[in-house]
């Protein structure tokens, strides 16, 4: 009989019992040693949070009648799944250090206790699995919580937003649709009443956020998907052109493995790699091309080619 099976039997017996159940009853029913039952009791109480108490007067165990009704958790994980969960927790935390700690901290503590119960050192996961981030912008945790709650519950928000392009602050009433983490930064896709269209808001530029406690209009998921994925990068809009890029043999080994866009088209030309990427706003695409410096050539269209050439000349002029 596995521990899981024993815990289920113990839990059922305790729930059905009108009086404290003596240890001998569990030993006889489960056909295991007293020490095994003692460990199972500790697991129920300390790991799973069961309100298990011992009655010296009755010489038996029972659930505290004054405690909330206890049920066994519906999710059971093996050791490898627990390790994976801890790794995912570190990934979430790396996206915004401390942002999710109040919410997943208790879960993390319980997972670590589960690992320790199995004879494994949970700290090893943190030492041997590292997630490094770059270009991450800080988001206010209170604003994140307000936006996340409104998005999940389908409530309107009133925000003060400081846009980068115009360097100006505006007030907007928005209908949240989806919260997205893109390249280590958080963005909110929402219907903006002022613009009368879907817009993308960077959470680090939201200065204040108030839940309006009024239902938000839920738009079709396909429209939200198009806003996010129809073009290259986070500058959204319907793709209007395709960029053609040619990578040197040295850079091609990396570029051929990268996913720039879900609809990208790539092929090898001799030892060069040619990539076609759809885009609308060229801003982020140009930044990504510049990341490769002399190892990539923008073949088409002229808009991209001329912009990249101009930015490279401006950069060279500073040295």
* Residue labelled with tokens 């998921």: 221
Return the C-alpha torsion angle 265, 182, 147, 203, nearest 10.
-120
Mean pLDDT over residues 211-215, rounded? Answer: 90
pLDDT tens-digit profile of 122-170? Answer: 677 667 666 666 667 788 888 888 898 899 889 999 999 998 778 889 9
Clarify whether residues 259 and 293 are in a common domain.
Answer: yes
Confidence (pLDDT) at 164: 78
Tokens of 206: 């939201």
Q: Are residues 213 and 146 in the same domain?
A: yes
Instruction: Give the model's pLDDT for residue 232.
Output: 45
Total domain count, the chain:
4
Comparing 58-72, 85-99, 126-140, 304-318, the range with the smallest average pLDDT is 85-99
Position 17 pLDDT exceeds 50:
yes
End-to-end CA distance of the chain: 73
Q: Average pLDDT over the chain, rounded to whole?
A: 84
Residues 164, 213 share a domain: yes
Average pLDDT over residues 103-113: 69
State how far the Cα of 34 lies from the Cα of 38, in Å rounded to an integer: 6
The domain that holds 292 is classified in CATH as: 3.30.70
pLDDT at residue number 119: 54
The Cα diameter of the chain in Å comes to 88
Q: What is the DSSP string of 307-318?
A: HHHHHHHHHHTT
pLDDT given at position 231: 46
Domain membership flag for residue 234: no
> According to the model, what pLDDT value does residue 274 have?
96
Q: Minimum mean pLDDT among 84-93, 158-167, 194-203: which range?
A: 84-93
Domain contains 257 = yes
Same domain, 245 and 303: yes
- 91 & 148 share domain: no
Residue 284: predicted pLDDT: 83
308 has a pLDDT exceeding 80: yes
Indicate whether 29 belongs to any domain.
yes
In a domain, 136, yes or no: no
- Pick the last residue of a domain from 31, 63, 95: 63
User: What does DSSP assign to residue 216?
Assistant: P
Task: Provide the domain limits for residue 28.
Answer: 3-63
Q: How far is the CA of 31 from the CAs of 1, 36, 42, 150, 284, in angstroms? A: 9, 10, 18, 52, 66
Q: Which of 35, 63, 91 is the last residue of a domain?
A: 63
SS3 276: strand
The CATH number assigned to the domain holding 201 equals 2.30.30
Note the helical H segments in 96-218. 101-117, 123-128, 141-153
Could you tell me if residue 24 is inside a domain? yes
Measure the CA angle with vertex 306, ends 303 and 308; round to 5°. Answer: 105
Closest residue by Cα to residue 280 from 258, 259, 309, 304 = 304
Residue 78: helix, strand or coil by DSSP?
Answer: coil
Asked if the structure places residue 231 within a domain, the reply is no
Q: Is 107 exposed, middle or buried (0-12, 13-18, 19+ CB in 10 A)?
A: exposed
Q: Are residues 256 and 279 in the same domain?
A: yes
**Antiparallel, parallel or unpaired: β 185-192 and 265-269:** unpaired
Residue % of the chain over a pLDDT of 90: 43
Choose one of 220, 253, 269: the last residue of a domain.
220
Alpha helix (H) ranges present in the chain? 3-16, 23-30, 34-42, 79-95, 101-117, 123-128, 141-153, 221-229, 249-255, 283-291, 302-316
Question: Considering the domain boundaries, does residue 69 fall inside one?
Answer: no
Q: Which residues pair with 265 in a beta bridge?
A: 276
Q: Is the pTM of this model over 0.75?
A: no
Q: For residue 96, what pLDDT band results from cuts at 50, 70 and 90?
A: low
Residue 68 predicted with pLDDT over 50:
yes
Residue 70 belongs to some domain of the structure: no
Q: pLDDT tens across 237-279, in order?
A: 667 889 999 999 999 989 998 888 878 999 999 899 999 998 8
pLDDT on residue 208: 95
Which residue's structure tokens are 């050791």? 79
Q: CATH number, domain at 55?
A: 1.10.10.10
Nearest by Cα to 50 from 39, 59, 42, 58:
42
On whether both 146 and 191 belong to a single domain, the answer is: yes
Report how far residue 316's alpha carbon sits from residue 312's, in angstroms, rounded to the nearest whole number. Answer: 6
∠ CA 95-101-103 to the nearest 5 degrees?
110
pLDDT score for 120? 57
């Amino acid at each position: 009989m596995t521990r899981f099976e024993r815990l289920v039997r113990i839990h059922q017996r305790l729930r059905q019992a009108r009086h404290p159940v003596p240890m001998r009853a569990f030993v006889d029913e489960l056909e295991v040693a007293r020490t095994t039952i003692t460990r199972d009791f500790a697991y129920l109480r300390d790991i799973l949070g069961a309100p298990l108490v011992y009655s010296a007067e009755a010489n038996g165990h029972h659930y505290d009648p004054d405690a909330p009704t206890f049920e066994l958790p519906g999710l059971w994980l093996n050791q490898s799944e627990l390790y994976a969960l801890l790794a995912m927790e570190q990934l979430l935390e790396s996206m915004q250090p401390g942002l999710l700690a109040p919410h997943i901290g208790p879960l993390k503590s319980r997972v670590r206790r589960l690992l320790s119960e199995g004879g494994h050192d949970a700290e090893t996961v943190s030492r041997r699995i590292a997630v490094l981030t770059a270009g991450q912008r800080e988001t206010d945790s209170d604003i994140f919580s307000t936006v996340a709650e409104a998005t999940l519950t389908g409530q309107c928000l009133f925000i003060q937003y400081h846009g980068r392009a115009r360097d100006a602050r505006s007030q907007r009433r928005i209908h949240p649709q989806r919260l997205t983490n893109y390249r280590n930064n958080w963005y909110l896709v929402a219907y903006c009443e002022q613009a009368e269209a879907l817009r993308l808001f960077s959470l680090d530029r939201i200065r204040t956020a108030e839940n309006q406690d009024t239902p938000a209009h839920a738009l079709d998921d396909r429209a939200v998907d198009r806003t996010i994925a129809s073009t290259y990068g986070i500058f959204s809009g319907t793709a209007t052109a395709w960029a053609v890029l040619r990578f040197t043999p040295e850079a091609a080994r990396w570029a051929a493995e990268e996913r720039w866009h879900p609809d990208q088209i790539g092929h090898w030309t001799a030892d060069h790699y040619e990539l076609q990427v759809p885009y609308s706003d060229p801003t982020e695409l140009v930044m990504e091309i510049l990341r490769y410096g002399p190892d990539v050539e923008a073949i088409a269209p002229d808009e991209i080619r001329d912009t990249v050439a101009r930015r490279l000349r401006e950069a060279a002029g500073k040295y």
